[in-house]
Amino acid sequence: MERQTDTSAGTPADGTRASNSAAEIARATPMAAIVEDPPLELTQRTRAMYRELKPRALYDLSGAKSPGSLEEMTGYFRRFRALRGKSLTGVSHDALQRSWCAMIVRWNRMHQEGSNFVAWLTSREEVVGEHSLSELRARVCKNAWESDHDCYVHVREGCTSCESSE
C-alpha cells in the first residue's frame, strides 16, 4: 500500500514523516552494491598506464640515451616545464616524476630520429615567446609610440612599458 504525500510539504498525508535518511538508505542497500572492487582488468590497465607514465624515478638518467650531465638535464627539464607554463616548485612529486619521464621519452625519441632536443627546445621557446601576451603587450606599446599614437594597452589596462615612457 502506497502512502499519499502532501506535495506542498513533502510529508505523508497521515501526518507521519517519510524516512529517506542516508542511514536508512544504507541499511536497505546491500553492502556489495555500495562498495565494489574495480574489475581486475581495470587495475591491470591502470598498472600498465603507470608503468608507461612513470617508468623511472625523478632525475634518473638511466633510461636516457646519451644524456648530458645531471645539471644539464635538470636545466633542460626546467625549460621543458616552462614551455607548458609550469614550474618545479609547489608541485607534487608525482607530477614532477611524470613530467620528467615525458621529457626523457621525448629526448630518446628525438635521439632515435636523429633530431636535436636542445634545438627543438630553443625553437619552441621562441614560438611560445612570440605568442605570449606580455610580449604582445610590449610590441603594441612600442609600435604605438613609434607611430605617435597612444598605447591601447595603457588606455585599456595600464601598460607597464608606457609607465616608463611617459
As beta bridge partners, residue 6 has 11
Q: For position 69, what pLDDT does the model report?
A: 94
Q: For position 165, what pLDDT does the model report?
A: 46
Residue 62 structural domain? 40-130
Judge if 82 and 126 occupy the same domain: yes
- Angstrom CA distances, 27 to 3, 11, 32, 37, 113, stand at 21, 22, 12, 20, 61
Structural domain includes residue 15: no
Judge if 116 and 46 occupy the same domain: yes
Inform me whether the pLDDT recorded for 161 exceeds 50.
yes
Structural domain includes residue 21: no
Q: Which three cell numbers stand for residue 22?
A: 542516508
- Angstrom CA distances, 65 to 59, 72, 73, 78, 100, stand at 14, 14, 12, 19, 14
Judge if 105 and 147 occupy the same domain: no
Judge if 67 and 52 occupy the same domain: yes
pLDDT digits (tens, 9 = 90+) for 10-38: 444 555 554 444 445 444 444 333 334 44
Q: Which three cell numbers stand for residue 62?
A: 638511466
Inform me whether the pLDDT recorded for 160 exceeds 60.
yes
Based on its alpha-carbon atoms, the radius of gyration of the chain, rounded to whole angstroms, reads 30
pTM, 2 dp: 0.54
Judge if 126 and 161 occupy the same domain: no
Closest among 128, 127, 80, 71 to 104, alpha carbons compared? 80
Q: For position 120, what pLDDT does the model report?
A: 96
Identify the band that residue 48 occupies on the pLDDT scale cut at 50, 70 and 90: low
Question: H or E element: which one contains 12?
Answer: strand 11-12
pLDDT digits (tens, 9 = 90+) for 78-116: 999 998 888 889 999 888 998 999 999 999 999 999 999
CB 80 within 8 A of CB 87: no
Alpha-carbon gap, residue 119 to 5, rounded angstroms: 73
Number of domains within the chain: 2
